Structure formats: C-alpha cells, structure tokens
C-alpha cells in the first residue's frame, strides 16, 4: 500500500507555476540568495498547492507551506510573507554553514 506522500507527486515549482517560481527567485535575490542555493518544489492539491523549499548544506533544511489556488493566482500577502520568512531563515542557515566550513 502506498503512503499518501507517494500518491502526491512532488515536482519542481518551476514546472508547476513558472510565475510563482520567478516571484520566489526575484524576492530571494533581494536577500542575495541565488536560484542555485534553493530547490523549490511543489505538490499540486485539489484546493491549491504545497510549496516546499530545500536549502542549506546538501539541501538538508526544509520549509513548506500550503496555499490556496486563489492565493497563488494573486501572489497574495501570505505567499510574499512566506518567501520573506524563508529568505531570512535561509540566510541564517547559509551563514552558519559557511562558518562551519571555514572553521579549522
């Protein structure tokens, strides 16, 4: 028997919603976070989509949040807030990873 997670197909956000992916990358750029620093994925659902962001060393850190179709279509406040909060967390983790890497 397959688990629920296996039934829901995880796809790159870029292929599921290119405008949302471009908004994400644009906003992350304001924090000096580049497209190669994050893996953005999505799971399409009946009532919207779950956005999943992997980042950090070996992309071991993950943040995710569900959004309704209406929020996605309008790139509403909730999405922008999620991106901003995610960017702050990514920056914090990336700085910590950097100092771990250069530590003798």
* Per-residue model confidence as pLDDT tens for the chain (104 residues): 444 444 579 999 999 999 999 999 999 999 999 999 999 999 999 889 999 999 988 899 999 999 998 888 887 788 999 999 999 999 999 999 888 888 77
Per the DSSP assignment, residues forming a β-bridge with 38 are: 55
pTM of the predicted model as reported, rounded to 2 decimal places: 0.83
Collect all residues with Cβ–Cβ distance below 8 Å to 52 and sequence separation of at least 6: 10, 40, 41, 42, 43, 62, 63, 64
What pLDDT score was predicted for residue 11?
A: 95
What pLDDT score was predicted for residue 3?
A: 45
- Report domain extents, the chain: 10-102
What pLDDT score was predicted for residue 92?
A: 93
Backbone angles phi, psi at 52, to 5 degrees: -125, 125
* DSSP symbols for 42-76: EEEETTEEEEEEEESGGG-EEEEEEEEHHHHHHT-
Nearest to residue 94, comparing CAs of 82, 86, 25, 14?
86
What pLDDT score was predicted for residue 74?
A: 81
CB 83 within 8 A of CB 23: yes
Report the distance separating Cα 90 and Cα 31, nearest Å. Answer: 9
């Amino acid at each position: 028997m397959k688990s629920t997670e296996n039934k829901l197909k995880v796809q790159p956000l870029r292929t599921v919603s290119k405008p949302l992916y471009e908004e994400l990358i644009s906003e992350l750029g304001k924090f000096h976070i580049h497209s190669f620093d994050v893996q953005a994925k999505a799971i399409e659902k009946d009532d919207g989509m779950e956005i999943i962001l992997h980042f950090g060393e070996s992309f071991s850190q993950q943040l995710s949040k569900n959004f309704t179709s209406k929020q996605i279509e309008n790139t509403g406040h909730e999405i922008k807030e999620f991106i901003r909060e995610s960017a702050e967390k990514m920056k914090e983790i990336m700085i910590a990873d950097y100092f771990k890497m250069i530590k003798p």
